[in-house]
Amino acid sequence: MKDTKYYQKHSLIRIFLGYFKPHRRLFAMDMLCALAVAAVDLAFPLVSRWAMNNLLPDQKYMIFFIVMGAMALAYLIRALLYFVITYWGHTFGIRVEADIRSDLFRHMQTLGYDFYDRNRTGQLMSRLTSDLFDITELAHHGPEDLLISTLTIIGALTVMFVLEWRLALVVCLILPILLVSVITRRRKMSSVSKGVKVKTAAINAEIESSLSGIRTAKAFANEDVEFEKFSEANERFKVSKREFHKEMGIFFSTQEFFMSFLSVAVIAVGGALTMQGSIEMVDLLTFSLYITTFTGPVRKLVMFSEMFANGFAGLGRFAELMRTEPTLHDAPDAVDLTNVSGEIEVDHVSFAYGDDSEVLHDASLTVKPGETVAIVGPSGGGKSTLCRLIPRFYDVNEGSVRIDGLDVRKITQASLHQSIGVVQQDVFLYADTICNNIRYGKPDATMEEIIEAAKRAEIYDDIMEMPDGFDTYVGERGTLLSGGQKQRVSIARIFLKNPPILILDEATSALDSVTEEKIQSALDALAVGRTTLIIAHRLSTIRNASRILSIADGRIVEQGSHAELMAKNGLYAELYRTQNLGEKQEIS
């Protein structure tokens, strides 16, 4: 895969042709077949003229029919060549598309959290699917149609000038007008086509959002609201398509007029020359055959211009994304994080998401190797943000985050992420089996390791009660499992990954009290000998923490043991008393 600089440096056509190189043999075969097709199309009128001028007058009927049989065989071969062009040509186009999609997906994997904060999933899916279809059509049909059409037009014009220069001159007078109108309308179509792709991406985004949230819509009886949002996007798409089809209508109607007028003009001038005895009927018939041979490629060129407009609109959107620089890069001198002891230092860190106001202000924290630190505080205070900076999901604006004395910006992202296990509050499961979702923590894990991880996460018994056991399909985003089951599958991943640093972002928030009690001991066991950060809403889950931090308004306002913080009677004490009071009221 080429780097971002390559796409920034080179033109769209250079980028496009660069994807032909790995499949150049297939492309060459396609072009050779196209050349052969053009040769047969150019040969037939000349052979017919020769046969009618030389064989029929001399009554050489046997030779005449042999020649016609040879032309029939040539057209049979031409048909076979078209099969090769259609089948292998499309295969070539699909391979180019697959390479482009592979590079695009790989590049999207390098883009950071901030990119996905700004872009909707449906729009990105559109760039990976529908946009690339137009590029495939251009990759397959574009060079082939351009080659056949150009060679046939040049060859036909050459023969027409040899046959009758005056009729050829008529063609040459009309052809530039046709080409100017085609080029002018193509530019307009290209502009409108790009707008259609933007609208298509928008409607894909609405569909993705609506389908992902269909359960929420049903729960609130808001199907009509979602349909209205969809209808608005659909209407915008219809308007953009209407503009495109309007331009297409003008484009094709102009083309058809000039193509038909060309035939009329040639017959009219040719008829006048025949009346004067300046041209033989056979030559006029041959010339008419060449007009038919000539107009087919011209139509293909016109179709090519539409294909070019659509394909380059998609290619432009592809290049735009490929030219997007990841905000997070491995430093040139970045090193792998190895033999991790787990010391974490947050040194005077300030951070804001984009241009928003700061979420963290001058935060400092040191976590010793093997220490378990709990982080508490009101929602929006900066707890999760602090923990996202440690694996370098975002870069700090000021200060630094260090692991074992190394600034995370000087550590390769791959080794950093391998050394840190994160269990988030918002669990994401893939639409796959339970087994494969657990195995995600260690792709080469054996079945025995997966079973052991499931047992330690207190999900094994639940799995065994399911009809397909570990092969049970979890549904889209794990919808076929309960909230507690999803959370425990995600925790099993971390048991399997076995990282030296753990970040538990309200990892037991979806569990009921009984299940939470069961799994808490397992989490405590997992935390032994590891550096662990626990973001906790339920204060009962942090009773074994070495130290507790209270964060509010982006600042670490206090830290200490449970007893020390209760004695300070600050934020933690207030949260503790509020939560205990709520629990007592619930019990009573």
* Beta-carbon count within 10 A of 58 CB: 10
Task: Transcribe 521-584 into DSSP letters.
Answer: HHHHHHHTTSEEEEE-SSGGGGTT-SEEEEEETTEEEEEE-HHHHHHHTSHHHHHHHHHHHHHH
All residues at 6 or more sequence positions from 256 whose CB lies less than 8 Å from its CB, including other chains = none
In a domain, 587, yes or no: no
**Range with top average pLDDT, 82-91, 155-164, 232-241:** 82-91
**In terms of residue numbers, what domain contains 135?**
4-322
Q: At what angle do helices 130-163 and 121-128 cross, to 10 degrees?
A: 30
Which residues pair with residue 533 across a beta bridge? 373, 503
**pTM of the complete model:** 0.70
> At residue 254, what are phi and psi to the nearest 5 degrees?
-65, -45
* Beta-carbon count within 10 A of 514 CB: 9
- SS3 label, residue 224: helix
> At residue 395, what are phi and psi to the nearest 5 degrees?
-95, 140
Average of per-residue pLDDT across 223-251 = 76
In a domain, 169, yes or no: yes
Residues 254-313: pLDDT tens digits?
A: 777 877 777 788 788 878 888 887 777 777 777 777 777 777 777 777 777 777 877 888
- SS3 label, residue 405: coil
Q: Could you tell me if 281 and 271 are in contact, meaning their C-beta atoms sit under 8 angstroms apart?
A: no
Q: In this structure, what CATH number is given to the domain that contains residue 150?
A: 1.20.1560.10
Q: Which of 123-132, 379-388, 405-414 has the lowest mean pLDDT?
A: 123-132
User: Which of these, 292, 290, 310, lies nearest to 141 by C-alpha position?
Assistant: 310
Residue 584: per-residue pLDDT: 44
User: Which of these, 6, 144, 25, lies nearest to 95 by C-alpha position?
Assistant: 25
Q: Could you tell me if 433 and 422 are in contact, meaning their C-beta atoms sit under 8 angstroms apart?
A: no
In a domain, 147, yes or no: yes
Residues 393-424: pLDDT tens digits?
A: 888 889 999 999 899 999 998 898 888 888 87
How large a percentage of the chain has pLDDT more than 90?
A: 4
With bands split at pLDDT 50, 70 and 90, how would you rate the model's confidence at 1? low
Domain count, the chain: 1
Residue 363 has pLDDT above 80, yes or no: yes
H-helix or E-strand containing 249? helix 223-275
In a domain, 94, yes or no: yes
Residue the block writes with tokens 């991790």: 340
Strands 420-423 and 372-376: unpaired
Residues 8-55: pLDDT tens digits?
A: 888 888 888 888 889 889 888 888 888 888 888 778 777 877 888 778
Strands laid side by side in the 344-352 sheet? 358-367, 344-352, 398-403, 406-407
Strands 531-535 and 547-552: unpaired
In a domain, 519, yes or no: no
Q: Could you tell me if 459 and 510 are in contact, meaning their C-beta atoms sit under 8 angstroms apart?
A: no
Q: Give dist(CA 586, CA 588) in Å, integer.
A: 6
**Range with top average pLDDT, 339-343, 515-519, 534-538, 582-586:** 339-343
Q: Which residue has the higher pLDDT, 582 or 369?
A: 369
Residue 53: per-residue pLDDT: 76
Residue 588 has pLDDT above 50, yes or no: no
Residues 365-381: pLDDT tens digits?
A: 899 998 889 898 888 88
- SS3 label, residue 347: strand
In a domain, 61, yes or no: yes
> At residue 111, what are phi and psi to the nearest 5 degrees?
-75, 145
Residue 401: per-residue pLDDT: 92
Phi-psi region of 342 (alpha: psi -120 to 50; beta: other; left: phi over 0): left
In a domain, 310, yes or no: yes
Q: Which residue has the higher pLDDT, 263 or 444?
A: 444
Q: Kindly report the three-state secondary structure assignment for every residue of 467-479.
A: CCHHHCECCHHHC
- SS3 label, residue 344: strand
Q: Which residue has the higher pLDDT, 387 or 307?
A: 387
Residue 515: per-residue pLDDT: 66
Alpha carbon 350 to chain centroid, angstroms: 33
In a domain, 438, yes or no: no
Q: Could you tell me if 420 and 466 are in contact, meaning their C-beta atoms sit under 8 angstroms apart?
A: no
Task: Transcribe 72-99 into DSSP letters.
Answer: HHHHHHHHHHHHHHHHHHHHHHHHHHHH
Provide the terminal-to-terminal Cα distance of the chain, rounded to the nearest Å: 64
Q: Could you tell me if 395 and 569 are in contact, meaning their C-beta atoms sit under 8 angstroms apart?
A: no
Q: Give dist(CA 552, CA 555) in Å, integer.
A: 6
How large a percentage of the chain has pLDDT more than 70?
A: 91
- Average pLDDT in the chain: 81
Residue 512: per-residue pLDDT: 67
Residues 461-479: pLDDT tens digits?
A: 889 988 889 898 888 777 7
Burial class (CB in 10 A: 0-12, 13-18, 19+), 126: buried
Burial class (CB in 10 A: 0-12, 13-18, 19+), 582: exposed
With bands split at pLDDT 50, 70 and 90, how would you rate the model's confidence at 509? low
Cα atoms in the Cβ-side hemisphere of radius 13 Å centred on 139: 34
Q: Which of 65-69, 122-126, 407-411, 549-553 has the lowest mean pLDDT?
A: 122-126
Residues 176-229: pLDDT tens digits?
A: 887 777 777 767 776 777 677 777 777 777 776 776 666 566 666 677 877 787
What sign does the dihedral 77-81-84-90 (CA atoms) show? negative
With bands split at pLDDT 50, 70 and 90, how would you rate the model's confidence at 76? very high
Which residues pair with residue 175 across a beta bridge? none
Residue 133: per-residue pLDDT: 79
